């Protein structure tokens, strides 16, 4: 009964989502306060219905209820409990359920924290959110229903794809979806504002915390996914420019741009049209990502669920929302008034540069991701666009932006003084230059480009704190005064500093790994040892072990430095019995920010040798620590009390008129 109740609740969610779309909209349009007042409750109710439904689905996975087709296809009674739960969203139907659940969660959050919003704006936002929820809940119910039953029920399921049986899967998709779907709020705000025809500085102030929250989650999701691919796939790579990775990266780029342009809009009421367009684009790219992943039009390692008919439906939803939003934008944007003026060299100018670079970079990623599809559709020729394309386009575009980042916060609004900013930055430029030269000196034969990259990394890392440094008044002001000034500084200043420094840290990691990593592929017998980056790595033995739902051969490698053993690494080859599918478990040892990475290949027939792939990955963890810093920066900004605005109390005069009207 519970299972069917979950299914019923899903249907109820669809119908309530339709009400959520229609009732607040009609309420705002006809001026009926009662309908407007229902908007938050509708958002809560849809979330409650979906949450119940999702819980029931999870329960079915936990209890191995094989009367659900979805459970049979993706679970197994012997699977560890954690993967029974994470398996819920490790497949097409379940991941779409998670998608709409998070969508509804954001709708409910707007309802909950939206008391500072004008009721009609809040109702409109909730209405647009309801329309998205309607489309996707309908999509789930009619093309990908996870509650489809099977009778008679089999006694065992097919198990989850072993690659997805990892803690990474527990965290990666929810984070990614929180980010992806979080941009739906910005989208809804943009559509609501276009319908209402009222976009001003206050709007930007309301939309910024949501953008920031979505951006933090998306950053976390992408970084997490990158680390997951790095250790789970056993290829030693952390970013493949895989279409699905690009699908999550494009909304991130657009979202980052949005974050910055909304700042200009809030402070100066400039860039209104542009900000609204970015809000639409960020979510459109999220939808595109959903389409690319879910339709299976791309050849990609992530395409664990592919079904062309579903693809067509998602494409329809995509066209409806993106096309509809852009048409509305074209009709209404001309009515938006121009805001404050500014000189090209100014804080605004810097943020415009940021936006220009980020959007063109998004466009190059977009072209590279979709070009193969377009070519195949037109000429039938099958091509692929890989990392070399992105290295040749995305990277050169980003370099000027990276150089400009430390200047931005130092420029004044309206008209900035670039020479003044440069004066305050030359110390940091000096540090960066020295770092680059040191790199050239020590890493003999290091490419000049690598030294340049390292220099940019340090420039960003230290230059980002220039504003903080300057405002502290150090060294002149003295420690106690500086401390007082620092503590009085708005948190968003810290947020900016940390986020920009995080970018620098990530750049350092990326350049370091790309330029200085060492790799060896060789055959080793137990007892063999080899030298790698100053370490001696010896292969001790291979041992067969039994896991809960797999068997594995675990190899033991000992890492020596100066003939002292410092670590043991245990990479493994697993065979998941239910699907008969082998996977590679990489063995990783972290020292400082660097890692030794060992992956096992196949045994060489007729010998006791195994093909072993060893990497020395210098400073590789910085690639993910950078995003962590960015997230910390984002959290600082989000916690700035400036973003929390109270709701206005009705004025005395207003209350009187209301009383008179009763």
Q: Which residues in 156-185 contact other proteins (CB under 8 A)?
A: 156, 161, 163
User: 151: which DSSP letter?
Assistant: S
Q: How far apart are CA 135 and CA 21, in angstroms?
A: 11
Q: Which is nearer to other proteins, 383 or 544 (CB)?
A: 383
Site track 440-469 with other proteins (rule: CB under 8 A), x = hit: ------------------------------
- CB distance 539 to 555 below 8 Å: yes
**Is 341 among the residues that bind other proteins (CB under 8 A)?**
yes
**Is 208 among the residues that bind other proteins (CB under 8 A)?**
no
**Is 435 among the residues that bind other proteins (CB under 8 A)?**
no
Residue 382 CB burial class (10 angstroms; 0-12, 13-18, ≥19): exposed
Q: Among 84-92, 110-118, 446-454, 587-595, which window interacts with other proteins (CB under 8 A)?
A: 110-118
* 310 C-beta neighbours (distance < 10 Å), count: 20
CB of 388 to other proteins, least distance (A): 4
Among 317, 403, 581, 635, binds other proteins (CB under 8 A): 581
**Is 542 among the residues that bind other proteins (CB under 8 A)?**
no
**Is 364 among the residues that bind other proteins (CB under 8 A)?**
yes
Residue 201 CB burial class (10 angstroms; 0-12, 13-18, ≥19): middle
Write the CB contacts of 357 (distance below 8 Å, at least 6 apart in sequence). Answer: 397, 398, 400, 401
**Is 648 among the residues that bind other proteins (CB under 8 A)?**
yes
Among positions 507-526, residues that touch other proteins (CB under 8 A) are: 519, 521-523
Among 323, 478, 565, 650, binds other proteins (CB under 8 A): 650
**Is 109 among the residues that bind other proteins (CB under 8 A)?**
no
Return the structure tokens found at 70: 């979805």
Among 336, 397, 443, 570, binds other proteins (CB under 8 A): 397
Q: How far apart are CA 149 and CA 159, in angstroms?
A: 17
Q: Among 255-263, 297-305, 435-443, 446-454, which window interacts with other proteins (CB under 8 A)?
A: 297-305
- CB distance 103 to 129 below 8 Å: yes
- CB distance 263 to 640 below 8 Å: no
Helical segments of 197-242, H only? 201-232
CB of 463 to other proteins, least distance (A): 19
Among 79, 172, 260, 268, binds other proteins (CB under 8 A): 268
Helix axes 167-196, 92-113, angle to 10 degrees: 50
Residue 485: which H helix or E strand, with range? helix 479-488
Q: Give the three-state DSSP class for 323.
A: helix
Site track 73-92 with other proteins (rule: CB under 8 A), x = hit: ----x---------------
- CB distance 53 to 68 below 8 Å: no
Site track 126-145 with other proteins (rule: CB under 8 A), x = hit: ---------------xx--x
Ordered DSSP codes for 235-303: S--S----HHHHHHHHHHHHHHHHHHHHHHHHHHS-SHHHHHHHHHHHHHHHHHHHHHHHH--S--TT-
CB of 408 to other proteins, least distance (A): 15
CB of 438 to other proteins, least distance (A): 30
Q: Which is nearer to other proteins, 60 or 213 (CB)?
A: 60
**Is 414 among the residues that bind other proteins (CB under 8 A)?**
yes
Among 532, 601, 632, 635, binds other proteins (CB under 8 A): 601
In DSSP terms, which residues pair with 555 in a beta bridge? 542
- CB distance 618 to 457 below 8 Å: no
**Is 478 among the residues that bind other proteins (CB under 8 A)?**
no
- CB distance 433 to 448 below 8 Å: no
Q: Which is nearer to other proteins, 235 or 593 (CB)?
A: 235
- The CA-CA-CA angle for residues 495, 500, 504, to 5°, reads 145
CB of 1 to other proteins, least distance (A): 5
CB of 628 to other proteins, least distance (A): 26
Q: Among 85-93, 207-215, 449-457, 594-602, which window interacts with other proteins (CB under 8 A)?
A: 594-602
**Is 1 among the residues that bind other proteins (CB under 8 A)?**
yes
Q: Among 93-101, 436-444, 542-550, 597-605, which window interacts with other proteins (CB under 8 A)?
A: 597-605
Among positions 321-340, residues that touch other proteins (CB under 8 A) are: 340
CB of 31 to other proteins, least distance (A): 5
Q: Give the three-state DSSP class for 124.
A: helix
Among 32, 528, 540, 553, binds other proteins (CB under 8 A): 32
Among 37, 112, 331, 448, binds other proteins (CB under 8 A): 37
Among positions 48-67, residues that touch other proteins (CB under 8 A) are: 48-49, 52, 60, 63-67
CA dihedral (595, 402, 218, 123) in degrees, to 10, reads: 170
User: 476: which DSSP letter?
Assistant: T
**Is 611 among the residues that bind other proteins (CB under 8 A)?**
yes
Among 233, 418, 474, 558, binds other proteins (CB under 8 A): 233
Q: Which is nearer to other proteins, 1 or 378 (CB)?
A: 1
User: 645: which DSSP letter?
Assistant: -
Q: Which is nearer to other proteins, 52 or 593 (CB)?
A: 52
**Is 584 among the residues that bind other proteins (CB under 8 A)?**
yes
- For every residue of 438-462, which 3-state class applies, written as one string? HHHHHCCCCCHHHHHHHHHHHHHHH
Q: Among 97-105, 167-175, 313-321, 358-366, which window interacts with other proteins (CB under 8 A)?
A: 358-366
Q: How far apart are CA 43 and CA 48, in angstroms?
A: 9
**Is 112 among the residues that bind other proteins (CB under 8 A)?**
no
- CB distance 95 to 12 below 8 Å: no
CB of 393 to other proteins, least distance (A): 4
Q: Which is nearer to other proteins, 526 or 601 (CB)?
A: 601
- CB distance 249 to 284 below 8 Å: no
Q: How far apart are CA 314 and CA 290, in angstroms?
A: 8
* 561 C-beta neighbours (distance < 10 Å), count: 12
Q: Which is nearer to other proteins, 2 or 377 (CB)?
A: 2
**Is 239 among the residues that bind other proteins (CB under 8 A)?**
no
Q: How big is the site for other proteins, counted in residues (CB under 8 A)?
A: 149
Helix axes 201-232, 243-268, angle to 10 degrees: 160
Site track 376-395 with other proteins (rule: CB under 8 A), x = hit: -----xxxxxx-xx--xx--
Q: How far apart are CA 231 and CA 227, in angstroms?
A: 6
Return the structure tokens found at 333: 């944007």
**Is 546 among the residues that bind other proteins (CB under 8 A)?**
no
């Amino acid at each position: 009964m519970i299972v069917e109740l979950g299914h019923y609740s899903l249907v109820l969610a669809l119908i309530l989502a339709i009400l959520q779309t229609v009732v607040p909209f009609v309420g705002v349009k006809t001026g009926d306060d009662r309908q407007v007042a229902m908007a938050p409750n509708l958002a809560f109710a849809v979330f409650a219905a979906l949450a119940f439904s999702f819980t029931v689905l999870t329960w079915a996975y936990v209890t191995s209820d094989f009367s659900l087709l979805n459970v049979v296809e993706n679970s197994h009674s012997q699977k560890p409990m954690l993967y029974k739960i994470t398996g819920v969203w490790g497949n097409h139907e379940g991941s779409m359920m998670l998608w709409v659940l998070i969508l509804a969660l954001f709708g409910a959050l707007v309802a909950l924290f939206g008391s500072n919003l004008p009721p009609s704006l809040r109702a409109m936002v909730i209405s647009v959110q309801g329309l998205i929820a309607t489309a996707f809940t309908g999509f789930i119910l009619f093309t990908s229903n996870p509650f489809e039953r099977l009778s008679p029920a089999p006694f065992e399921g097919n198990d989850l794809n072993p690659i997805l049986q990892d803690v990474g899967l527990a965290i990666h998709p929810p984070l990614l979806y929180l980010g992806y779907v979080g941009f739906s709020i910005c989208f809804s705000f943009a559509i609501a504002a276009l319908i209402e025809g009222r976009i001003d500085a206050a709007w930007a102030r309301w939309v910024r915390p949501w953008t920031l929250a979505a951006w933090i989650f998306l950053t976390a999701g992408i970084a997490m996914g990158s680390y997951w691919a790095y250790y789970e796939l056993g290829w030693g790579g952390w970013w493949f420019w895989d279409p699905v990775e690009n699908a999550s990266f494009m909304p991130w780029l657009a979202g980052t741009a949005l974050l910055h342009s909304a700042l200009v809009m809030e402070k100066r009421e400039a860039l209104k049209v542009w900000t609204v367009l970015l809000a639409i684009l960020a979510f459109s790219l999220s939808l595109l990502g959903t389409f690319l992943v879910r339709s299976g039009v791309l050849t990609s390692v992530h395409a664990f669920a592919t079904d062309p008919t579903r693809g067509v439906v998602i494409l329809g939803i995509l066209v409806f929302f993106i096309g509809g939003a852009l048409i509305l934008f074209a009709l209404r944007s001309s009515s938006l008034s121009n805001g404050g003026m500014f000189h090209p060299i100014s804080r605004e100018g810097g943020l415009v540069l940021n936006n220009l670079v980020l959007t063109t970079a998004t466009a190059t990623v977009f072209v590279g991701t979709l070009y193969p599809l377009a070519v195949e559709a037109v000429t039938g020729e099958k091509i692929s666009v890989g990392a070399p394309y992105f290295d040749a386009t995305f990277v050169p575009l980003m370099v000027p932006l990276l150089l400009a980042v430390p200047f931005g916060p130092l420029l004044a609004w309206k008209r900035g003084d670039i020479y003044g900013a440069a004066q305050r930055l030359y110390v940091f430029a000096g540090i960066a230059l020295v770092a680059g030269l040191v790199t050239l000196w020590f890493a003999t034969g290091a490419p000049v480009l690598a030294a340049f990259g390292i220099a940019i990394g340090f420039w960003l890392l230290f230059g980002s704190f220039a504003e903080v440094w300057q405002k502290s008044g150090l060294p002149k002001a003295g420690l106690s005064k500086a401390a007082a000034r620092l503590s009085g500084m708005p948190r968003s200043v810290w947020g900016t500093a940390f986020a920009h420094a995080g970018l620098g840290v990530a750049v350092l990691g990326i350049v370091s790994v790309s330029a200085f990593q060492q790799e060896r592929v060789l055959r080793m017998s137990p007892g063999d040892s080899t030298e790698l980056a100053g370490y001696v790595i010896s292969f001790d033995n291979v041992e067969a072990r039994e896991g809960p739902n797999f068997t594995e051969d675990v190899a033991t490698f000992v890492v020596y430095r100066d003939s002292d053993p410092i670590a043991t690494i245990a990479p493994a080859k697993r065979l998941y019995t239910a699907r008969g599918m082998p996977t590679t478990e990489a063995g990783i040892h972290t020292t400082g920010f660097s890692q030794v990475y060992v992956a096992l290949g196949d045994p060489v027939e007729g010998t006791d040798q195994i093909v072993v792939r060893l990497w020395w990955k210098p400073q590789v963890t910085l690639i993910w620590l950078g995003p962590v810093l960015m997230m910390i920066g984002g959290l600082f900004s989000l916690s700035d009390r400036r973003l929390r605005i109270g709701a206005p109390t009705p004025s005395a005069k207003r209350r009187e008129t209301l009383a008179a009207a009763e």
